[in-house]
Structure 1
Amino acid sequence: MTLPAHPLHHWTDALARGVTSSRALTEQALEAASVSSQAGATFTRLHVERARASADAADRLRDAGLPMAPLAGLPISIKDLFDEAGEVTGAGSRVLMGSSPAVSDSAVVQRLRAAGAVIVGRTNMTEFAYSGLGLNPHHGTPLNPWDRATGRIPGGSSSGAAVSVSDGMSAAAIGTDTGGSVRIPSALCGLTGFKPTARRVPTTGVLPLSPTLDSVGPLAHSVACCALLDAVLAGEQPAPLRPLQLAGLRLALPRTLVFDGADATVSAAFAAACTALSQAGVQIVEIDVPAFAELAHINRGGGFIAAEAWAWHAALLESREAEYDPRVSVRIRRGSSLTAADYLELLAVRQRWISSVAHRLAEANASMMIMPTVPVVAPLLAPLQASDETYGSTNLLLLRNPTLINFLDGCALSLPCHRPGDAPVGLMLAAPGGRDADVLCAGAALEAVLRNRF
């Protein structure tokens, strides 16, 4: 038995009415993990007894009639980047397996526990979060739920996070997003994922990839789920979403870069979604964004990620590089050639780039953008394992659109926009930094249209 794919409010309501218990939900999640063929590649560590104890504690509080925290008794997974007291923060690697356990919880874990979440385990990921594909040669790669017979990737780097939700091993998951690592697996696995403005959620106790770009966000079954989890992570009071009125909502559709290399399935699903939104009253205006075409050149030396990853990994690579995934270590080493002058120039260029994008949106009288989250459906795993060249080109393709929003210092949702049963396709709704509430409220309205058309 697996945990059915219901949004979080379904479970909180069922718990409040006594239809189920936190222990029952947790047992369903743990049972799914115990029998799934993907569990070994989905989790790096399951917290079986601790999860049961947390669920029982939530049930006792509920039975006593006490006010319940917003996530009370809900089974949630966390990516293997977040410190938990007494646990080794492995980051999907072999290199850190012998490290000392964390002495305290990360800020994210503290907030989840305070909100009553039952943390069922730590999810697998691309080693050190340095890829959008989700492959991990150390712990295995969980297969995409859409097409396991053929064998397709889940996306990354939060690969295990997505599969833990899609396979009913958790009600929702917490991942990180430095260049799309929440949104890519959400899009490829048919989930909803939210990347907040980076500064909203503290990264204290989170193993870094790029402190400039790292953000923490949820993967779940609905926009409302993401909004609830985001409020908890940001230390805000959760409040019901108020979907925006779609009549007159004006969204910019960039034509620069974001459709390059798009396959027929993504193109058709995205076009159909835009038609449905237009019929619901959304004004979609196509714009050119020349800055988008410049980003690959700006990041040609590896950008913030290579520079900041090298700063963290340099000493470890010198002593233990043989234990790294070579496809990760080679990209980290790109940062070794970047100088302080290069880094300072990158900071200045980024600010000019952000201003340029904001100017194009203002000219279009649009505060938000839509685009495909990624331009292709989930790629096959085997060719990526077999070829460094295929791995590299596919990784760049999947990261391309989401990375635009990280460099923008923005916030974004990935919403499923495919017909049920078809290959998952994500529609990304994005805005410059600080517009998180607008994106979530608009996303809830778009979600209703996209779901109700079938």
Structure 2
Amino acid sequence: MDTQPVPPIARHNSPGPDTWRDRLAGFDRAMADHAAQDWTGQAIFLNERYEAARAELGYWQAMARAGSALPPLTGLIMTVKACFDTDGWVSSCGSQVLQDTPPATRSAALVHTLRMAGATLLAQTNMTEFAYGALGVNTHFGTPRTPLDPTGARIAGGSSSGAAVGVARGYCDLAICSDTSGSARIPAAFCGVVGFKPGRGRYSTDGMHWLSTSFDVPGLITTSVAVCRRADHAITGSVMDSLPHPAAIRLAVPASLPDMGVDDGIRDLFNACVTAMTRVGITIEEVPLTSLADSARIAAEGRIIGTEAYALHHDHLATDFDRYDPVVATRLMNGRDNPACHYMKALRALSACRDRFDREIAGYDGFLLPTVPLWPPEVVDLRDEATYLTLNRHAFSLTEFANRLDLPSISLPVGKFPVGLMLTGRRGADNALLAMASVLEPLAATLHQPV
């Protein structure tokens, strides 16, 4: 992609906090925008409940006027990725294979928790089939496009493609998604919104359909860090950390960054972000974090994702192989012949690598990278399978570290560019990460061009 990013389209704001009238009017404008668009071949919603959602907002409005106490997320609109069970909807995982299964009779724990906290459910979002891809391509339901490309040619990223577009266009405030190698953060970066991958165990996986039992975590895509923190608090009940003074933040940049294949224009934007942060007193130093590349290599050589994905899909592959996306089916089958000793050896090696990372990051609160090293490709460029596989692997080459090492990680928008600034924290320090992200967010968001 040319190093000059495409300009953004005009975007509708999410329902505002000032009055319920504003919230309802904002919802109506957003739904009118959705109805006016041609989603042929690029669907972002697989199921929806527009009228029920508006009625629910009206109910909360009446409760507010009556002076009733309201749940903490009342007024926020949410969507759910199709790999989470939602009562009444088929959990298709973006695939024909599961399209004919019965609708879920109960919602995933995370869906239920956010609903009980007052969030209004709007829709189920499209995704890469079975979350096995970082570019958002779906040959059956269509491939969503980033709203930051007015030509409509460039992908939204994946696998949580529909989730990111829904947030970016102002149709919802938060989206439940999953993240195996970057599936919350990659589309967030390409669409100019916030994508959060928590540490393992922070959010319940009950009712989530897995790709990799070692690396999958539920995540969030939101309009802002503030909304992300509100949702996280509602889910976990943990006390929000106070925002740190910039001078108290110490961050690392991997010394291997020059060898990570980052496009020149994205590197310029990243450097501009670093400059803006150091100007306000944040300490940022180059550190040789060798465990990052080692963790990616161990997972790839041990074929951890492929082995686990094949085990989960073994029965369906035997009976419904022809209903899979051909590229997804081939990748799933590649996990069939991996020796158990290679798989187990890789898991043990990753555990040791995590311990080494903890030593390498000592003295720092986390590290910074661009979220994705390339600009969002055009859909037409992904029709060739070899090109698709190459770009797919490159797309998650920076986000995967957090999954392999079990670290909390968040992608922040950089100006109006389809680029993300990724902050990755220490294991178990999700609250601290979100607090730091609140400090970094405005510094990256106001960036207009490389300096």
Structure 2 letter corresponding to 1:4:
H
CA distance in 1, matches of 2:257, 2:401: 10
Count residues with an aligned counterpart.
Answer: 438
Indicate yes or no: 2:410 matched with 1:413. yes
Q: Residue 14 of structure 1 aligns with which residue?
A: 18
Instruction: Quote how far apart the aligned CAs of 1:272 are.
Output: 0.6
Pair 1:452–1:190, CA change in 2 (3 A): closer
User: Does the Cα contact within 8 Å between 2:302 and 2:346 map onto a contact in 1?
Assistant: no
Q: Residue 131 of structure 1 aligns with which residue?
A: 133
* Structure 1 segment 280-299 matched on structure 2, within 5 A: 280-299=280-299
Indicate yes or no: 2:225 matched with 1:217. no
Instruction: Please list the CA deviations of residues 111-145 of structure 1 after superposition, one character each: whole Å capped at 9, or x if unmatched.
Output: 11101111110010000001110000001111111
Match of 1:445 among 417, 439, 442: 439
* Structure 1 segment 277-316 matched on structure 2, within 5 A: 277-301=277-301, 303-316=303-316
Indicate yes or no: 2:161 matched with 1:167. no
405-414 or 299-308: which moved more?
Answer: 299-308
Structure 1 letter corresponding to 2:13:
A
Q: Residue 404 of structure 1 aligns with which residue?
A: 401
CA distance in 1, matches of 2:418, 2:250: 26
248-257 or 98-107: which moved more?
Answer: 248-257
CA distance in 2, matches of 1:70, 1:36: 32
Instruction: Please list the CA deviations of residues 132-163 of structure 1 after superposition, one character each: whole Å capped at 9, or x if unmatched.
Output: 10000001111111224161111100000011
Secondary structure, in 3 states, of the residue corresponding to 2:58? helix
CA distance in 2, matches of 1:142, 1:427: 22
Secondary structure, in 3 states, of the residue corresponding to 1:231? helix
* Structure 1 segment 26-425 matched on structure 2, within 5 A: 26-38=27-39, 41-149=43-151, 151-232=153-234, 234-236=235-237, 239=240, 242-256=242-256, 260-301=260-301, 303-362=303-362, 365-385=363-383, 387-418=384-415, 420=416, 423-425=417-419
User: Does the Cα contact within 8 Å between 1:70 and 1:238 map onto a contact in 2?
Assistant: no
Secondary structure, in 3 states, of the residue corresponding to 1:446? helix
CA distance in 1, matches of 2:124, 2:447: 36
User: Does the Cα contact within 8 Å between 1:252 and 1:286 map onto a contact in 2?
Assistant: yes
Pair 1:257–1:310, CA change in 2 (3 A): farther
Instruction: Quote how far apart the aligned CAs of 1:293 are.
Output: 2.7
Structure 2 letter corresponding to 1:168:
G
Q: Residue 3 of structure 2 aligns with which residue?
A: none
CA distance in 2, matches of 1:276, 1:261: 23
CA distance in 2, matches of 1:446, 1:88: 39
Q: TM-score, normalised by structure 2?
A: 0.92
CA distance in 2, matches of 1:340, 1:65: 61
Pair 1:235–1:28, CA change in 2 (3 A): farther
Instruction: Please list the CA deviations of residues 356-399 of structure 1 after superposition, one character each: whole Å capped at 9, or x if unmatched.
Output: 1111112xx212111111111111211112x1111011011111
CA distance in 1, matches of 2:73, 2:388: 38
Structure 2 letter corresponding to 1:119:
L
Instruction: Please list the CA deviations of residues 382-424 of structure 1 after superposition, one character each: whole Å capped at 9, or x if unmatched.
Output: 1112x11110110111111110110110001111224x3xx32
Instruction: Please list the CA deviations of residues 83-137 of structure 1 after superposition, one character each: whole Å capped at 9, or x if unmatched.
Output: 1122110111111111011121110111111011111100100000011100000
User: Does the Cα contact within 8 Å between 2:295 and 2:350 map onto a contact in 1?
Assistant: no
Structure 1 letter corresponding to 2:202:
R
Instruction: Quote how far apart the aligned CAs of 1:302 are.
Output: 6.1
User: Does the Cα contact within 8 Å between 1:302 and 1:335 map onto a contact in 2?
Assistant: no
CA distance in 2, matches of 1:266, 1:87: 39
284-293 or 116-125: which moved more?
Answer: 284-293
CA distance in 1, matches of 2:118, 2:304: 35
Secondary structure, in 3 states, of the residue corresponding to 1:131? coil
User: Does the Cα contact within 8 Å between 1:184 and 1:402 map onto a contact in 2?
Assistant: yes
Pair 1:238–1:366, CA change in 2 (3 A): closer
199-208 or 344-353: which moved more?
Answer: 344-353
Instruction: Quote how far apart the aligned CAs of 1:299 are.
Output: 2.6
Instruction: Quote how far apart the aligned CAs of 1:294 are.
Output: 2.5
Unaligned runs of 5+ in 1: none
CA distance in 2, matches of 1:432, 1:333: 35
Secondary structure, in 3 states, of the residue corresponding to 2:247? coil
CA distance in 1, matches of 2:211, 2:298: 19
Q: Residue 6 of structure 2 aligns with which residue?
A: none
Secondary structure, in 3 states, of the residue corresponding to 1:247? helix
Structure 1 letter corresponding to 2:433:
V
User: Does the Cα contact within 8 Å between 1:134 and 1:156 map onto a contact in 2?
Assistant: yes
CA distance in 2, matches of 1:308, 1:432: 26
Instruction: Quote how far apart the aligned CAs of 1:257 are.
Output: 5.3
Q: TM-score, normalised by structure 1?
A: 0.91
Secondary structure, in 3 states, of the residue corresponding to 2:118? coil
Secondary structure, in 3 states, of the residue corresponding to 1:400? coil
Structure 1 letter corresponding to 2:337:
S
CA distance in 2, matches of 1:168, 1:427: 21
Secondary structure, in 3 states, of the residue corresponding to 1:299? helix
User: Does the Cα contact within 8 Å between 2:12 and 2:30 map onto a contact in 1?
Assistant: no
Any runs of at least 4 consecutive aligned residues in structure 1 with deviations exceeding 6 A, and if so which? none
CA distance in 2, matches of 1:178, 1:411: 12
